[in-house]
Amino acid sequence: MPASSDVEECAVERRADRVSSLGAAAYARARVLGVVGCLALACAGREGGSEATGGAAALGGSGGATGSGASSGSAVTSAGGAESAGGTPSAGGVSTTSGGAPATTGGATAMTGGVSGAGGGAAPGGGGSRSSTGGVPARGGAATNGGRGAMSSGGAALGGGTATGGAPGMDGGASGAGGKNDASGCPRYDASHPPAMLALTGNLGTHDPALIAADGKYYLFQTGHDLPTKTSSDLAAWQGGSAVFSSNPSWIATAVPGATDLWAPDISSFGGSYHLYYAASTFGKNTSCIGHATRASLASGSWADHGSVLCSGSGDDFNAIDPNVIVDDAGTPWLAFGSFWSGIQIVELDATGAVGTHTPKFIASRPSSGGALEGAFIVRACGYYYLFTSWDHCCDSPWNYNIRVGRSTSVGGPYADKSGKALLDGGGTGLVAGNSTWTAPGHNAVVVTPNGAYNVYHALDASHANPTLRVAELAWDTDGWPVSAGP
């Protein structure tokens, strides 16, 4: 662990069955593992069954309405009563890929708006050191877009009316997200019904949620012991599920000595399978790997683990954690990853979900702030690729974790914020910052349904404790920039 006092140091005890208060020393960068970008849920505002571009099946209607197929990916019939996404893994072989990545260049720049970091920028150790005192550990990365299995590959969902307020149910019922989708499927901001927060119930203690819709449910994956899961039929009421693994895949002990709980799962669907990416790391170090498991169905069967797809080591200027998959307009999957150090990178995946011979490239960095950004989440919506990141201190004073965004016409960048500042030069337009009730909101993901969009993240309570799932309505303004409720 770097010796710098700027490193966000927090020790984590991860327990999947409960979330407890954070210690004053912090809980090392707890984050919500984001919900997959643009879930195409025809979750049915009243009609059920219509579906989003990019992908996937409509989930609307109670019990088994089949959604019409979208532009990439096949339609999937919804089914009630799906099982938990957990299951017994098969062990995969070690597949560690290391090697340095080029550091970003460009002058130091200041933050653009929003909350600023205090006490100087965090040193590269911050990227892997989050902790909670009792509770599921924090680690980020977010689920993404896929072609199959009730999830879109990015763009805003098409069709469907909206109603103000309410969660997007999968068995019908009103849904609203602060503005109706326009003819192109973009959820537009409506000043008469601005975005609001959903009222959530049930099992809400969550770090780094990643989510996908399938079989009439939302399946949520999160950081913790063996990767815990939850399910919901409407994004509002949540129930606990089985863990993904019964124990860590065997390759982790060799590739990342000392790694215990797994961080930042990301769930996507492409190539006829569900793909779960996750991180194995230890606090304050960048000896880390991103693992990969697949499964044919979330309703039955178990996860087959395939080892690591990407690793980093002490000699590298990046940290291989916080995975996030985005499927581009052409149907090609890309993996975004990184935390602190020199920033966030993206690399093309092959049809099996492996990195292969492709070379990562940097797409976001904070060269003047100790590299204090992480938790990339990319969504394709409203004519652009939007890159969301989380900045600053998630888990210690001044508790100023916050969510930023930039956009690009290409999945590989360059990304810029609303003022035109490049994300590689520290740009990022503020989206969500904390208040006196909910502090340190961060590690978001975006869900775009036929009835509107939602921003999903975690926040701490007024005592900077108890990381909790938050779901905010989200809409795009006339200039094409997202506006979120929150915190």
Residues 6+ apart with CB under 8 A from 56: 39, 40, 67, 70, 73, 74, 75, 76, 146, 147, 148, 149, 150, 151, 152, 213, 269
Active-site residue, from 6, 9, 51, 208: 208
What is the C-alpha to C-alpha distance for residues 78 and 66, in angstroms, rounded to an integer?
6
| SS3 sequence of the chain | CCCCCCCCCCCCCCCCCCCCCCCCCCCCCCCCCCECCCCCCCCCCCCCCCCCCCCCCCCCCCCCCECCCCCCCCCCECCCCCCCCCCCCECCCCCCCCCCCCCCCCCCCCCCCCCCCCCCCCCHHHHHCCCCCCCCCCCCCECCCCCCCCCCCCCCCCCCCCCCCCCCCCCCCCCCCCCCECCCCCEECCCCCCCCECCCEECCECCCCEEEEECCEEEEECCECCCCEEEECCCCEEEECCCCCCCCCCCHHHHCCCCCCEEEEEEEEECCEEEEEEEECCCCCCCEEEEEEEECCCCCCCCEEEEEEEEECCCCCCCCCCCEEEECCCCCEEEEECECCCCEEEEECCCCCCCCCCCCEEEECCCCCCCCEEEEEEEEECCEEEEEEEECCCCCCCCCCEEEEEEECCCCCCCECCCCCEHHHCCCEEEECCCCCCEEEEEEEEEEECCEEEEEEEEECCCCCCCEEEEEEEEECCCCCEEECCC
Q: Does residue 51 have an active-site annotation?
A: no
What is the C-alpha to C-alpha distance for residues 439 and 300, in angstroms, rounded to an integer?
38
What is the C-alpha to C-alpha distance for residues 449 and 162, in angstroms, rounded to an integer?
10
Strands laid side by side in the 361-364 sheet: 324-327, 333-337, 344-348, 361-364
What is the C-alpha to C-alpha distance for residues 30 and 415, in angstroms, rounded to an integer?
26
Active-site residue, from 374, 392, 417, 425: 374
Q: Does residue 171 have an active-site annotation?
A: no
| Phi then psi dihedrals of residue 16, to 5 deg | -75, -15
| Residues annotated as catalytic (active site), given as ranges | 208, 374
